[in-house]
Structure 1
Amino acid sequence: MARKSRKADFVSTGRVEKPAIVTEEKMVFRAGLYARLSLESDANKERGTIENQMELLKKFVDGTNDIVVEREYMDVSKTGTNFERDGFEEMMRDIRDGRINCVIVKDLSRLGRNYVEAGNYVERVFPFFEVRFIAVTDGYDSSREGADLSVCMSNIFNEFYSRDLAKKIRASYRSNWKKGSNVCGNLAYGLMSDPMDGHRIIADPDTAPVVVRIFELFVNEKKGYAQIAKILNDDGVIGPKAYKHFKKTKELPGNYNPEWRGGTVSRMLSNSYYAGDSRHNHHGSDRFAEKKQWEEPEENWIIVEDTHEPIVPRVLYLKAQERLKEIHKNSRNYGKKNEGELSCRNFYKKKAVCGDCGASMYLIKSTSGAANFVCGGHLTKKGCSRKPISENALNDEVLRVIRIHMNVYVDSMEMLKRINRKAESMKKYDVLTKEVRNLHRELEKLAAHRQQLYEDYAERLIDAGQYEAFAEKDAAAEAELRKRISEVTEYQRKYDRNYCASRDWEAAINKYRNIRHLTQKMVDAFVEKIEIFSAGKVTVHLIYDDMLEELVAYTKEREEAGDGE
């Protein structure tokens, strides 16, 4: 008997009917999306590197019909040379618990850069747990017949080739440095590349006079760094960073600080470029992979004399170096390799700022030996004051705020867990669990239907127009299902007897809850920013403040609804 065509049924009803021939439903994988970033920097944050990885993985899943996203895992500022990472370990726990049976990464290096161990996970651990592994940009899928890990490994070899090429380029740079050629486009304030010869350095006619003035104020008038910065600010001279942007765009955006700082003046006074000498290899970097930078020891510097016309007379430059040495020699810490004392005791660095001008607060010692935080901009910014606050007073206030935060969190979580252990809440949790399970079944049916729809199109039982119409309808239904699953899962999670608002947040509180004194690690874990105002007024902003506000509001909502009775 010939097979009955379903084409007429599709056309007449205008909606998708169940296939006349029963086919085996295709398995739908519950995927964990894993992303890792080795080093979190301002540049990475601006580019949203970790978010871009996740976006790529989600787009990949959207293009499949047998994968649904169960969870997302991230490790930020974590090396790939070992597997002791919070996000990775959490993913492995979910694999062992059977919550996910598919792992998707951007490429093998995101799983780990210890490729022996990464290969062990891909070829032994994941298959043991019957977990599908996909490396998107490597084109590797363990469920595909004949999947070969050597594809990923070839990309690793390409990486090593690129790293070797980068070393050769740096060697070429060094060769040009020794010849006196300029191969750096980022020149110091007061200097520019010759428009006729990009390898030649010349004076910037707009800013070179400012550089000479700085040296003259320092040498001839014995002005200090902050005093020189204040003079330039009072005269309306915009600082180097703002000037660089202004020169390119001919406008000064609001997010740039045009003011001079004492530290900028100090660095300029020791810059040998102004005397006509080039200095290279001052900093080393691994720009290919981790984008790390470090300061090279002085013996590794490459200094080439008289590579360009000086903008500061050499005699004036040498006098400036003599005065700099004298200042350093008379410093309280001269000859000491940062013994530690103040640098190690300052837990805040750039997190503590002046509430009025926004400058960093610095920890300094007075002649009496007392340690105080003072505004770093009080000498260079009009209308600002020192705003001194003792080290102990600030530490006590920060610890007080953190402890209040932790206590409120613990109280709120205990209340929610008590509520969630009540019969009505447990019943609600079970209902939501069933709903999530049913929604996943609907998603699986939709995936099977999409597969059947394609087979019908391939067998010419429906035409292209019908296929596109039904496929578009399925895609809309899938998007709605995924949205509903996300909403219900989040709602269900809040009724869990072991409810956890955030694993990282909970881990930080459990770690420091019984610590009675402030530490650097505690500050790193909780503090986002500290604003210090006059009369010792302090405002402490914590990383989890918004989350705590939401948690308290939700707890109050559950209590008022009668769940807590």
Structure 2
Amino acid sequence: MRKNALYLRLSLADGDLGKNNKDESNSVENQRTLLVNFLQDRDDLADEYIEYVDDGYTGTNFERPEFKRMIEDAKTGKIDTIIVKDFSRFGRDYIGVGDYLEQILPILGIRFISVNNNYDSNDYLGKTMGMDMAIHNLVNNLYSKDISKKIKSALRVKWKNGQWTGGKPPFGYLRDTETGEWVIDPVAGKYVRAIFDKAIEGCNTTQIMYYMNEQKIPTPGKYNKENGLTHYGYNQKLPETEVLWDCGMIRTILCRYEYTGALVQGKRQSVAVGSKITRKSKYGDMVITKNVHPAIVSEEEYELAKATIMFMNKPGYRGTRKFALKGKVRCGNCRRSMVLMESGANDKMYCPHKKLTGKFSKCSDEAVSVMIIEGHVWYALQQVLYILDMIQEDIEEKANALDGVRKKKLKQLELENDKLKSERMRQYEAYAEGIITKEKYLLMKQQLTDKVNRNQTEMERLTHLSVEENTYKTKVASAIELLDGEMQHEKITQELVDATIDTVYVYDKKRIEVVFKFDDILMRAIEKYQKGEKEA
């Protein structure tokens, strides 16, 4: 039986809380009490319910974990009714809420009830939600935009007063646990100072990077991790030996005005209320407050150091060529995405980490031809298709051989259980007629029941094996159909890559490893078959 969904949401950012962050009318506990009481008073609703709580998530978008889980449960039929306190708990995006109420939820067959709005979608079957409800949603949307403006205004006031509202300070600074002010890290601050000194001397980013790596100075991420600042860590997928300074890190430090003692805030802004997409702010929209914390370099030194790198060529970005394997090709050593270098008919890919860190990295400095990479992938796909064909033949042979044996065994067990149950009834009749004692009857009953249960367990095992076998056969057949169909194009298509390729690791042009995205069962079967071929 499907259940009701009680959806509860609370967010400070939406203005859901009043003065001193307290508003009993909107608290999660208050919402819960209201909805449970409502449910208990309604005879037309089931008693059972699933609760979904998004505490601390804005209503201006639908990127909320419990909301997403609720919609997935609606799709799979676990729930048939969604109940909320009011429309604003469900969402404050006027257009988005309208889409859910008038299109998505009706398609899923979900009834929607907003208690305080006295709204029940069953009252609007075949009709729109009505002008009053549309206006109510629009008000919620405008309210969110108004709150967003107020929050931004409040933040700008704090920024102008020299209050830091961000998270971690830049490398070289620590945050005082009592005052919250930035203080210079005595060790990391010297590293930052050394970078500026080298730039002032006229060194470019590559030369400074070489110097930092030669001196074995830890990168910001490595330094913070070694000093227990784990939330400032680095990419854990990167091998320890490849955690090195690169030109990008040097450039980032030399371009941070904060090292002069200033705070620079409002560097990025969201493109719309509730959106997670941000864009770089115009210089005039940033708030710069000088002399807020101790400076590592003077303004003159900052400008001089920055001037030395201003006209240096920035590292190139990925090519624009339409490439089916884009985003899938990684360096086999450092695991970073490789960069496409376009050069007409002979496009190549190289490891950017090696290019940035030079001789200190163990990555290959070889640029590998795209044709070679695609050739390896194509060959690997052909091998997988061949193996799956062999597996399918093997499955059919074994299935045909075992099917008859398994059915015969199941029939025998069923007949035996029928006889055991009959014998158990006969023993009861003998006991009822006084032919055998109660003790003997109970003993015989237990022995016969144990045999029935053992047979039943074996029958379930055999049935489960048949189901597993059929599932396995279906998966293999589907994989073959997919590969066979896409490979008819005789080229690596985007559809083929999206369906089959997880990652391509390039060590050099002779060693390229292809990792497929088939499920565990198929991958184990393929690996087992490959192992058997090698042993043979």
What is the TM-score of this pair, normalised by structure 1?
Answer: 0.53
* Conserved? CA contact 1:102–1:133, under 8 Å: no
Which segment drifts farther, 399-408 or 249-258? 249-258
Which amino acid is 2:188 matched to? T
Query: Which residue among 270, 293, 296 is the counterpart of 2:280?
Result: 296
What SS does the corresponding residue of 1:244 show, helix, strand or coil? helix
Where in structure 2 are the equivalents of 1:284-433 lying within 5 Å? 284-285=269-270, 292-299=276-283, 301-308=285-292, 309-328=294-313, 341=319, 345=323, 347-349=325-327, 351-355=329-333, 357-364=334-341, 371-374=348-351, 376-377=353-354, 379=358, 381-406=360-385, 408-409=387-388, 412=391
Provide the C-alpha distance between the structure 2 equivalents of 1:134 and 1:554, rounded to a whole number of angstroms. 51
* Partner residue, 1:240: 220
* Conserved? CA contact 2:348–2:370, under 8 Å: yes
**In the TM superposition, what is the alpha-carbon distance from 1:170 to its structure 2 partner?**
3.7
Once the two structures are superposed, residues 390-425 of structure 1 have per-residue CA deviations (whole angstroms, 9 ceiling, x without a partner) of 2221122223323443554466558768987x7985
Provide the C-alpha distance between the structure 1 equivalents of 2:485 and 2:145, rounded to a whole number of angstroms. 40
* Partner residue, 2:247: 262
2:484 is equivalent to residue 499 of structure 1: no
**In the TM superposition, what is the alpha-carbon distance from 1:133 to its structure 2 partner?**
7.2
Which amino acid is 2:330 matched to? A
* Conserved? CA contact 2:486–2:493, under 8 Å: no
What SS does the corresponding residue of 2:358 show, helix, strand or coil? coil
**In the TM superposition, what is the alpha-carbon distance from 1:540 to its structure 2 partner?**
1.4
Aligned-residue identity in percent = 16
Query: Which residue among 501, 508, 513 is the counterpart of 1:539?
Result: 513
Provide the C-alpha distance between the structure 1 equivalents of 2:344 and 2:480, rounded to a whole number of angstroms. 43
* Conserved? CA contact 2:331–2:351, under 8 Å: no
Where in structure 2 are the equivalents of 1:267-286 lying within 5 Å? 267-285=252-270
**In the TM superposition, what is the alpha-carbon distance from 1:352 to its structure 2 partner?**
0.7
**In the TM superposition, what is the alpha-carbon distance from 1:182 to its structure 2 partner?**
1.6
What SS does the corresponding residue of 1:327 show, helix, strand or coil? coil
Q: 1:406 to 1:535 in 2, by over 3 A?
A: closer
Q: 1:325 to 1:424 in 2, by over 3 A?
A: same
Which segment drifts farther, 492-501 or 300-309? 492-501
* Conserved? CA contact 1:428–1:495, under 8 Å: no
Provide the C-alpha distance between the structure 2 equivalents of 1:234 and 1:327, rounded to a whole number of angstroms. 22
Query: Which residue among 202, 208, 211 is the counterpart of 1:231?
Result: 211
What SS does the corresponding residue of 1:197 show, helix, strand or coil? coil
2:530 is equivalent to residue 549 of structure 1: no
- The count of residues paired between Structure 1 and Structure 2 equals 403
What is the TM-score of this pair, normalised by structure 2?
Answer: 0.55
Which amino acid is 1:228 matched to? I
**In the TM superposition, what is the alpha-carbon distance from 1:266 to its structure 2 partner?**
2.0
Provide the C-alpha distance between the structure 2 equivalents of 1:536 and 1:554, rounded to a whole number of angstroms. 24
What SS does the corresponding residue of 1:544 show, helix, strand or coil? coil
* Partner residue, 1:4: none
**In the TM superposition, what is the alpha-carbon distance from 1:488 to its structure 2 partner?**
5.7
**In the TM superposition, what is the alpha-carbon distance from 1:245 to its structure 2 partner?**
3.3
Provide the C-alpha distance between the structure 1 equivalents of 2:473 and 2:186, rounded to a whole number of angstroms. 68
Higher helix share: 2
Once the two structures are superposed, residues 100-138 of structure 1 have per-residue CA deviations (whole angstroms, 9 ceiling, x without a partner) of 86547999979x9944454357875566xxxx8799xxx
Once the two structures are superposed, residues 504-558 of structure 1 have per-residue CA deviations (whole angstroms, 9 ceiling, x without a partner) of x6896477343433355644443323322245311111222744334558999xx
What SS does the corresponding residue of 1:318 show, helix, strand or coil? helix
* Partner residue, 2:182: 201
Largest Rg, 1 or 2: 2
Provide the C-alpha distance between the structure 2 equivalents of 1:208 and 1:536, rounded to a whole number of angstroms. 44
* Conserved? CA contact 1:178–1:302, under 8 Å: no
Once the two structures are superposed, residues 483-508 of structure 1 have per-residue CA deviations (whole angstroms, 9 ceiling, x without a partner) of x99996785264379934698x6896
Which segment drifts farther, 392-401 or 161-170? 161-170
Provide the C-alpha distance between the structure 1 equivalents of 2:509 and 2:401, rounded to a whole number of angstroms. 53
* Conserved? CA contact 1:374–1:386, under 8 Å: yes
**In the TM superposition, what is the alpha-carbon distance from 1:188 to its structure 2 partner?**
0.8
**In the TM superposition, what is the alpha-carbon distance from 1:302 to its structure 2 partner?**
0.1
What SS does the corresponding residue of 1:169 show, helix, strand or coil? helix
Which amino acid is 1:306 matched to? K
Provide the C-alpha distance between the structure 2 equivalents of 1:372 and 1:322, rounded to a whole number of angstroms. 32
* Partner residue, 1:182: 164
Query: Which residue among 199, 203, 207 is the counterpart of 1:218?
Result: 199
Which segment drifts farther, 344-353 or 309-318? 344-353
Q: What is the RMSD computed on CA atoms of the aligned residues? A: 6.1
Which amino acid is 2:191 matched to? V
Q: 1:65 to 1:210 in 2, by over 3 A?
A: same
Provide the C-alpha distance between the structure 2 equivalents of 1:235 and 1:408, rounded to a whole number of angstroms. 51
Which amino acid is 2:470 matched to? Y
Once the two structures are superposed, residues 359-390 of structure 1 have per-residue CA deviations (whole angstroms, 9 ceiling, x without a partner) of 54333468998634246236163554413322
Provide the C-alpha distance between the structure 2 equivalents of 1:288 and 1:65, rounded to a whole number of angstroms. 38
